């Protein structure tokens, strides 16, 4: 984007630098729209915070008499909420100065960052699972189910085999990938062989996987001995992803995530299969004419996407949860969907988006415990960001009406 700005700046001399810079910034969609989307989501979030707080709302009842009260209270509430969000995600300056002065430990200073990375790790995998499939023209809504199967396979492998250290972890991770791959392979095969739409089949497989997990964890041999609730045995220590321990929950998963992102980027942009899948994604008919087997590509692509999501599930079980429960996968599959959309289906973009979501989640925890704002606000923020990202014309319409007409994907609707 900066390169564009630099090159296009020179020929135009009549306009001021600022004008040109703004115009180019405006036309380079992705960064501006992403930033504006986040701003919009944060504003709407602020409104929600105020509207749902009865104490502040009460001050609005005499707004005309003393507007200062209401505005003051709103500002205090919003700023403390968002400050906690940032502190919980990146770090509390107080904790850093404590560490410097010797009053606190370095672990406490870095704990927020560790939380961010911990939450981001599985999202990177599920996000990649969605974005890779997207590039091949498939909408993989099944990342949730694939992640669940990944959890199951990795978890079961983790407490069953009892292999030596390192090997056990590798086997558990591979098992997770295979579990997810199976759950991705099925819709891929159905799509290739029968044309069954992957959106429908993967939605259905998500719930099937969830029910299967709910059944599995209460079976003998899986359920933790001595427990009557739905929880499995604990994954052997040798199969757990190594972490710093203590308050620093961050584990090897985030490193694997970065490596996997690089791998996916290579697969997508440098490998023969990546070329095929992009060809199929942009035009399956042309790809078929060019001799690419569309059916094979779809099947293989979904299996790989499933394996990625399965790894996401595996990091969840082997890195943080350590035991299977019906909700062990949380919402990582659906969050991965948002992450992929926010990352514009590019591997490194997905990684960044996952980090943002991880930060929101980690910060949300602190916001919930310190300011008492429900963690659900984070879900709202995430959904809003993606809604705005998906509709760039809408964002532009909100910020500047005239630009929206031009940017509306070249469409000028006949009716208003």
What does the binding site for another protein look like in residue numbers (CB under 8 A)? 48, 52-54, 139, 141, 190-197, 199-201, 203-205, 207-208, 211-212, 214-215, 284, 288, 294-295, 298, 334, 337-338, 341, 373-374, 376-384, 386-387, 390-391, 393-394, 408-409, 411, 413-415
Burial 216-231 (b: 16+ CB within 10 A, else e): bbeeeebbbeeeeebb
Give every CB contact of residue 329 below 8 A, 6+ residues apart in sequence: 144, 147, 148, 151, 213, 313, 316
CB of 175 or CB of 386, closer to another protein: 386
CA distances from 104 to 93, 159, 199, 288 (A): 12, 37, 50, 63
CA distances from 72 to 48, 77, 84 (A): 16, 9, 18
CA angle at residue 120 from 371 to 392, to 5 degrees? 85
Residue 121 — φ and ψ, nearest 5°? Answer: -55, -55
CB of 116 or CB of 382, closer to another protein: 382
Residue 232's closest CA among 169, 318, 311, 170?
318
CB of 9 or CB of 288, closer to another protein: 288
162 CB neighbour count, 10 Å cutoff: 10
Q: How far is the CB of 290 from another protein (least distance, A)?
A: 14
Q: How far is the CB of 357 from another protein (least distance, A)?
A: 12
- Coil vs helix vs strand at 249: strand
- Coil vs helix vs strand at 323: strand
CB of 264 or CB of 386, closer to another protein: 386
Q: How far is the CB of 207 from another protein (least distance, A)?
A: 5
For 75, the token pair is 């500002």
Q: How far is the CB of 288 from another protein (least distance, A)?
A: 7
Q: How far is the CB of 367 from another protein (least distance, A)?
A: 12
CB of 243 or CB of 293, closer to another protein: 293
For 119, the token pair is 């939450």
Q: How far is the CB of 73 from another protein (least distance, A)?
A: 15
CB of 171 or CB of 218, closer to another protein: 218
Q: How far is the CB of 320 from another protein (least distance, A)?
A: 22
CB of 294 or CB of 304, closer to another protein: 294
């Amino acid at each position: 984007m900066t390169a564009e700005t630099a090159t296009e700046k020179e020929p135009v001399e009549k306009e001021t630098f600022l004008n040109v810079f703004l115009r180019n910034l405006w036309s380079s969609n992705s960064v501006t729209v992403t930033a504006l989307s986040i701003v919009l989501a944060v504003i709407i979030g602020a409104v929600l915070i105020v509207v749902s707080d009865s104490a502040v709302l009460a001050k609005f009842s005499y707004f005309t008499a003393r507007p200062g009260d209401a505005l003051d209270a709103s500002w205090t509430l919003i700023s403390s909420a968002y400050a906690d969000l940032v502190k919980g995600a990146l770090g509390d300056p107080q904790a850093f100065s404590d560490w410097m002065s010797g009053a606190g430990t370095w672990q406490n200073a870095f704990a927020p960052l560790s939380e961010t990375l911990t939450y981001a790790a599985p999202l990177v995998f599920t996000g990649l699972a969605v974005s890779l499939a997207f590039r091949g023209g498939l909408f993989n809504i099944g990342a949730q189910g694939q992640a669940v199967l990944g959890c199951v396979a990795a978890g079961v492998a983790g407490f069953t085999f009892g292999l030596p250290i390192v090997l056990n972890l590798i086997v558990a991770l591979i098992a997770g990938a295979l579990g997810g791959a199976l759950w991705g392979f099925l819709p891929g095969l159905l799509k290739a062989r029968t044309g069954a739409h992957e959106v429908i089949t993967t939605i259905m497989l998500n719930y099937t996987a969830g029910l299967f997990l709910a059944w599995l964890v209460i079976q003998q041999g899986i359920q933790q001995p001595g427990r009557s609730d739905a929880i499995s045995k604990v994954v052997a220590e040798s199969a757990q992803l190594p972490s710093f321990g203590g308050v620093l929950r961050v584990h090897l998963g985030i490193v694997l995530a970065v490596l996997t992102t690089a791998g996916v980027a290579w697969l997508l942009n440098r490998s023969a299969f990546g070329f095929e899948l992009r060809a199929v994604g942009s035009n399956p008919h042309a790809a078929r004419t060019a001799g690419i087997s569309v059916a094979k590509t779809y099947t293989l692509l979904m299996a790989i996407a499933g394996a990625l999501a399965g790894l996401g599930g595996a990091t969840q079980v082997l890195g943080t949860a350590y035991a299977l429960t019906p909700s062990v996968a949380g919402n990582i599959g659906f969050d991965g969907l948002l992450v992929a959309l926010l990352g514009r289906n590019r591997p490194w973009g997905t990684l960044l988006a996952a980090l943002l979501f991880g930060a929101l989640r980690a910060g949300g925890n602190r916001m919930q415990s310190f300011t008492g704002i429900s963690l659900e606000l984070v879900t709202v923020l995430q959904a809003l960001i993606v809604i705005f990202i998906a509709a760039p014309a809408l964002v532009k319409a909100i910020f500047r009406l005239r630009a929206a007409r031009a940017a509306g994907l070249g469409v000028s609707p006949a009716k208003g």
